[in-house]
Structure 1
Amino acid sequence: MKRTLLILTITCFTFSVNAQDEAAQKNWMEYATPGSMQKMIAMSDGQWATDMTFWMAPGAPPSKGSGSCTNKMILGGRFQETKHTSSFAGQPFEGIGTMGYDNLKKVFQSSWVDNMSTGIMYMEGKWDDATRSVVFTGKCTNPASGKEMNVREVYKIIDDNTHLMEMYQMENGTEYKSMEMKMTRK
């Protein structure tokens, strides 16, 4: 009797582990498989001309610039890498961003690094069908104060060949627009 009970217990445990393994594998595959959101991101692959406007402080006069960026899906269509080049304040500017959609968390994620800082900016956001945009929020270091500050980015798809990115940051508790970049497909 004890041997039969032991075999039955081991068999039930094995079935339970196998069912958990199958569920875990299914969840992992759904998490790892590019879907409709990654396909939407991929629609902006290609070469883009950029026209930028910067505001260094609330109420400051704007400065203008232009450049280009290249967007390319990487890692089997899971993420999009963007490489920007331009000049800022007479200096060459390079930046690299990565954008993806987390299938599990149901959010867009974005990282940014450039040659004018040593920090990584990370943001998350959700798609808004009504405005055809993703509103990202996150934090980065303010080099002037040395403190962390809240940032917000609105990335809007105007049409297949025109996108608009607006960046906002906090200054003394007040949010202001610090950058606007219009991207036009080449």
Structure 2
Amino acid sequence: MARTVTLLAVATLAACPLLLLAQPEKPAKPGTPAQPDKPQTPQMPEGFDPTNMDPAVMMEMWEKANAPGPEHATLEPLIGHWDTTLKHWMGPGEPHVSHGSATNEWVLDKHYIVMHSKSDMMGKELHGMGQLGYNKTTRKYENTWSDNFSTQIMLAFGSYDASKKELTFNGSYDDPFGSGKREFRHVTRMVDKDTNVFEMYESMMPGAGPMKVLEITYKRSEGKHGVHEEHGRDHKAKPSGAN
């Protein structure tokens, strides 16, 4: 799902020595960022010449090839206004807990979901936004994320497991401390119509297994938090550590 809290902020904090002791993911193996499949070469009819095609026919073909499909409908449970509870681990023991809000909405004729969030991160107000969609050419889900804690636009590619109702994404980012690329994986479980759970894992050291550094529980909210610049104004993030 969609990330409604900064992945990079948590990952940056994870570079601290204490985070090397973060909660290990029990069954996981170190992941490798998934790369989009190479687009399949379209099988054009013999003698096909797009330069001589009627523009209206060409547009009709384009729209049909790029119309939202069942893969987009899979994302419908993520739409709405949410109250969020965030947990991130700075070492062994209990996680740091904070609260916030999020809004996910369809845009561009239901081709993409735009995500806006507001929360508290180590006593500072965090605003973030992301985009989620399904690329029919590569047959991969694609996710971007950016926020006011970083200057990177993070990109991840993923797939959906219908039997588990899970979206799993893999990606990488450039470590702001100069240690090169850092790999991450995040999973969103659609628990029920009013609950989603997001978990992020990251390999902190070469050869080490991924560690759980972030968990977000989304509970559907009756109120409307708003989006864009208005998002969060009517829903104050609770102080860091509040339950």
1:56 CA drift (Å): 3.4
TM-score (ref. length: structure 2)? 0.64
1:184 to 211, 219, 223: 219
Does residue 172 of the first structure (1) align with residue 205 of the second (2)?
yes
How much is the aligned-residue C-alpha RMSD, in angstroms?
A: 2.5
Does residue 100 of the first structure (1) align with residue 133 of the second (2)?
yes
Does residue 66 of the first structure (1) align with residue 99 of the second (2)?
yes
- Report the secondary structure of 1:16's partner residue: coil
Which whole-Å CA distance do the structure 2 matches of 1:76 and 1:86 have between them? 28
Matches within 5 A, 1:155-166: 155-166=188-199
Alignment gaps of 5+ in structure 2: 1-45, 222-243
Q: Which has the higher strand share?
A: 1
Contact 2:77/2:190 (<8 A) preserved: no
Contact 1:155/1:163 (<8 A) preserved: yes
Which whole-Å CA distance do the structure 2 matches of 1:122 and 1:18 have between them? 33
Which whole-Å CA distance do the structure 2 matches of 1:32 and 1:104 have between them? 9
Residue identity (%): 24
Corresponding residue for 2:87? 53
Q: Which has the higher helix share?
A: 1
Contact 2:89/2:96 (<8 A) preserved: yes
1:43 CA drift (Å): 3.3
- Report the secondary structure of 1:43's partner residue: helix
Aligned residue-pair number: 172
1:124 to 157, 164, 183: 157
Cα 1:18–1:138 change in 2 (3 A) is closer
1:105 CA drift (Å): 1.5
Which whole-Å CA distance do the structure 1 matches of 2:114 and 2:88 have between them? 23
Alignment gaps of 5+ in structure 1: 1-13
1:21 CA drift (Å): 5.1
Does residue 38 of the first structure (1) align with residue 103 of the second (2)?
no
1:40 CA drift (Å): 2.4
1:25 CA drift (Å): 5.7
Contact 1:42/1:80 (<8 A) preserved: no
Q: Which amino acid aligns with 2:75?
A: I
Cα 1:163–1:29 change in 2 (3 A) is same
Cα 1:137–1:155 change in 2 (3 A) is same
Which whole-Å CA distance do the structure 1 matches of 2:169 and 2:145 have between them? 12
